[in-house]
Amino acid sequence: MRAYIASWRRTEVERSARTVRPTDLRTGRPVWFGSRRAVRIERCRTSSRARERDLQRVATKRRHRRDDRSDGSAVMTISFPDPAPIDIQIERQVDQAILDGWPLPRWGWAIPGPYQGSTGAERVLGWQKMRIAEMMGLLERRLECSGCGAQAHHRHQEIYQRSLFCPAVCRSCHYRIHKRFMRPLEWSEFLQREVLEQSWLWCLPEDPLNRAEALRIAASTDLLTALQLHASDRKADRKDRP
**What gap in Å lies between CA 177 and CA 123, rounded to an integer?**
16
Among residues 31 and 170, whose Cβ is nearest to Zn ion? 170
Among residues 95 and 158, whose Cβ is nearest to Zn ion? 158
66-76 as b/e, with b when 16 or more CB fall inside 10 Å? eeeebeeebeb
Shortest Cβ 119–Zn ion spacing (Å): 27
Contacts of Zn ion in 141-160 (CB under 5 A): 145, 147-148, 150
- The residues near 32 (Cβ < 8 Å, ≥ 6 apart) are 38
Shortest Cβ 177–Zn ion spacing (Å): 9
- The residues near 18 (Cβ < 8 Å, ≥ 6 apart) are none
Write each residue from 106 to 145 as x if it is in contact with Zn ion (CB under 5 A), else as -, in one continuous string: ---------------------------------------x
Among residues 191 and 219, whose Cβ is nearest to Zn ion? 191
3-state secondary structure of 107: coil
Which secondary structure element, helix H or strand E, spans residue 37, and what is its range? helix 36-68
- Between helices 184-194 and 171-179, what is the axis angle to 10°? 150
**What gap in Å lies between CA 207 and CA 230, rounded to an integer?**
10
Shortest Cβ 150–Zn ion spacing (Å): 5
98 makes contact with Zn ion (CB under 5 A): no
167 makes contact with Zn ion (CB under 5 A): no
Among residues 170 and 217, whose Cβ is nearest to Zn ion? 170
Among residues 102 and 187, whose Cβ is nearest to Zn ion? 187
170 makes contact with Zn ion (CB under 5 A): yes
Among residues 36 and 141, whose Cβ is nearest to Zn ion? 141
3-state secondary structure of 151: strand
Residue 71's nearest CA partner among 107, 101, 93 is 101
Sign of CA dihedral 185, 189, 190, 191: positive
Shortest Cβ 168–Zn ion spacing (Å): 9
Rule CB under 5 A: choose which of 173, 217, 218, 227 binds Zn ion: 173
Shortest Cβ 158–Zn ion spacing (Å): 15
Residue 203's nearest CA partner among 162, 239, 164, 159 is 159
Interface stretch with Zn ion, choices 33-41, 62-70, 74-82, 162-170 (CB under 5 A):
162-170
Among residues 139 and 145, whose Cβ is nearest to Zn ion? 145
Start-to-end C-alpha separation, the chain: 93
Write each residue from 11 to 30 as x if it is in contact with Zn ion (CB under 5 A), else as -, in one continuous string: --------------------
List of residues contacting Zn ion (CB under 5 A): 145, 147-148, 150, 170, 173
